[in-house]
Every structure is written in C-alpha cells, then in structure tokens.
Amino acid sequence: MTEFAASHDTETDPRTRMECGVCWTVYDPAEGDPLGRAAPGTPFAALPEAWCCPTCDAPPVKFLRLDDDR
C-alpha cells in the first residue's frame, strides 16, 4: 500500500481539513480548491491522484489531518 493510500484510509470524516506539512496550506473540503479543480464539498480522499498543494506543489502524502474545533 502506498503512503498516499494509507493517508486516505484513515480519513473517515469527509469534512476533515488537511494541512500541508511543507508550507502549512490548509485544504478545506467546504471550500475545495479552484486552482486544483476541486469543487467545494470535495473530501480530501476524493481529490484526483495528480492533485498537489496549490501553494508549494507537495503531493497529498505530505498532508496531515488538521485537528481543530470548528
């Protein structure tokens, strides 16, 4: 199993925000990623394989679950 798949397997809540471990950009499913062509409401686990951080081009495997009280 790849690291990318492993990071997606642990995500259970489609509203979970993810933070880039390189530049700290936050991917918020409620907002999506207009630059990466992810519509609002797209869970991190549903992003295309070719998706990368819109700020630093880090791959999804570099993203960490953001535990916050929103």
Q: Is the pLDDT of residue 5 over 80?
A: no
Give Cα 16 distance to the centre of its chain. 9
Q: Is the pLDDT of residue 17 over 60?
A: yes
Q: pLDDT band at residue 9, thresholds of 50, 70 and 90?
A: very low
Please state the domain extents for the chain: 1-70
1-70 CATH, one of 3.90.1200.10, 2.170.150.70, 2.20.28.10, 1.10.1380.10: 2.20.28.10
Round to whole Å and give the CA distance between 55 and 26. Answer: 10
- Which residue has better confidence, 12 or 20? 20
pLDDT at residue 67 in the model: 80
pLDDT at residue 35 in the model: 86
How much is the average pLDDT of 34-52? 92
- Nearest to residue 37, comparing CAs of 26, 52, 23, 25? 52
